[in-house]
């Protein structure tokens, strides 16, 4: 497993020294970075990218969050 140092915005419940996992194989835990399409409905998320690579434009300010409401497999949108 490749280990890199990155800067992340801390979500409530994260702590110093916590390992953050990213990508398709990451588990649904506080602080991990996953694809929205892999998350179950009613998952609360913060710091959401509108499009891949836009560096998080949605639910970014302190105290803001978004909730995954549904997934549409035909259009591949959540």
pLDDT score recorded for residue 68: 92
pLDDT digits over 21-77, tens only?
988 899 999 988 888 888 999 999 888 887 777 777 788 787 888 899 998 889 888
- CA 77 – CA 61 distance, rounded (Å): 23
Global confidence as pTM: 0.73
Which of the four CATH numbers 3.30.160.270, 2.30.130.10, 2.30.30.30, 3.40.50.2300 does domain 17-78 have? 2.30.30.30
Please tell me the distance from the alpha carbon of residue 18 to that of residue 6, in angstroms, as a whole number.
12
Say how many CA atoms lie within 13 Å of 73 toward its Cβ.
Answer: 1
* Cα separation, 55 vs 69, whole angstroms: 22
pLDDT of residue 64: 85
Domain ranges for the chain, please list them: 17-78
């Amino acid at each position: 497993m490749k280990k890199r140092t990155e800067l992340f915005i801390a979500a409530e419940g994260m702590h110093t020294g916590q390992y953050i996992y990213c990508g398709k194989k990451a588990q649904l835990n506080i602080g991990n970075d996953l694809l929205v399409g892999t998350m179950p409905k009613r998952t609360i998320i913060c710091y959401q990218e509108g499009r891949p690579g836009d560096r998080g434009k949605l639910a970014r300010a302190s105290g803001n969050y978004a909730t995954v409401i549904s997934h549409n497999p035909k259009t591949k949108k959540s």
